[in-house]
Amino acid sequence: MIERFNFYDVYGYVIPGTLLLLILWLPHAIASGHELPSSATSAVVAVIVAYVTGHILQVVANKTVPSKRAIRGADGKLAYRFPSDYLFDDDNQTFTAEQKSRVGEKIKNKFGVAKPASAFLSCRNALQAAKVTSYAEQFQGMYVLMRGICAAAAIGLAYMIGCLWQQFVSAKPTAIVGISLVVIIAAIFRHELPRSDAIAQTSFAILLSGITVCAGLLAGAASPQAMLPISITAVVLTLVMLWTFGAYQAFAEQFAKTVYLDFDLLDLLPPKSG
């Protein structure tokens, strides 16, 4: 496991997992005045816990933070499509017409498919076999990082809302109001999600609502002085969530673009010896 630990593990799991743990720990630290443990043993344990938390977080994020975009087709209807698909649309200017034709012809000759998007994973596998995927892997690591941070910020925001509302209302109204607010938060992602993912949308809304309610029940002993830093944190998390969501989609598109461009140049590489 240690030998295979790489930058993808750091970007995809350790950083988002650490961020989520810090967000969840923050209200209690503010209320009780506790500081982060500084011993080496605590640091090692924290990294391991963050790594495991990051894996769980990415499972959730993979289902709820979409890379598909709403693209309007020639018929005027919106369709939710991956970047690997819409990059070859006639009205998409990412590639030139010559590049689209050339890459499409190479994919057809190598994999026997007429639609380039159908062979995207095959293109990526071909690049991995040729060991020329460094830039594509970097963009993949970045979009996974942004996706993880976005999900961590959304969960953290739901948690902060619960901490705030508990100071003003009783537990029962907290549950009602918290669920309503978190459903609104989940709706931020709804316009980008395909209708077929309605179960994932509902599950994510329920998850955030549950976090809000649990936070409200656990934060009853928090002092009024803690409300200002928690409120500021909630605002910051909202901005982080929106920014990283846009960055995630941008990196996802750049990843698909890089895979196709590298595949286009694959036949220009010198043959491997031995």
pLDDT number for residue 274? 45
- Proportion of the chain above pLDDT 70, given as a percent: 71
Measured distance CA(194)–CA(267) in Å, rounded: 36
Mean pLDDT computed over 211-225 = 66
pLDDT in tens, 168-178: 555 555 555 55
The region, left, alpha or beta by phi > 0 then psi within -120 to 50, assigned to residue 272 is: beta
Comparison of pLDDT for 104 and 1, the residue scoring more? 104
pLDDT number for residue 38? 63
Comparison of pLDDT for 34 and 44, the residue scoring more? 44
Mean pLDDT computed over 243-266 = 90
Give the model's confidence band at 180: pLDDT under 50 very low, under 70 low, under 90 confident, else very high: low
Mean pLDDT computed over 66-85 = 76
Q: Is the pLDDT of residue 45 over 60?
A: yes
Give the model's confidence band at 150: pLDDT under 50 very low, under 70 low, under 90 confident, else very high: very high
Comparison of pLDDT for 13 and 221, the residue scoring more? 13
pLDDT number for residue 65? 78
* Distance from the Cα of residue 194 to its chain's centroid: 16
Give the model's confidence band at 15: pLDDT under 50 very low, under 70 low, under 90 confident, else very high: very high
pTM: 0.79
Contacts (Cβ under 8 Å, ≥6 apart) of 12 = 54, 58, 141, 144, 145, 148
- How many CA atoms lie within 13 Å of 44's alpha carbon, on the beta-carbon side? 3
pLDDT in tens, 53-64: 999 999 888 877
Q: Is the pLDDT of residue 2 over 70?
A: no
Mean pLDDT computed over 103-130 = 86
Q: Where are the alpha helices (DSSP H) in the chain?
A: 7-9, 15-32, 40-64, 83-86, 97-111, 120-130, 134-165, 171-190, 198-218, 227-264
pLDDT in tens, 257-267: 999 988 888 87
Measured distance CA(33)–CA(269) in Å, rounded: 59
pLDDT number for residue 222? 53
Q: Is the pLDDT of residue 18 over 50?
A: yes
Q: Is the pLDDT of residue 249 over 70?
A: yes
- How many CA atoms lie within 13 Å of 116's alpha carbon, on the beta-carbon side? 25
The rounded mean pLDDT for the chain is 78
Q: Tokens in use for 228?
A: 């200002």
pLDDT number for residue 3? 46
pLDDT in tens, 192-214: 445 556 566 666 777 777 777 77
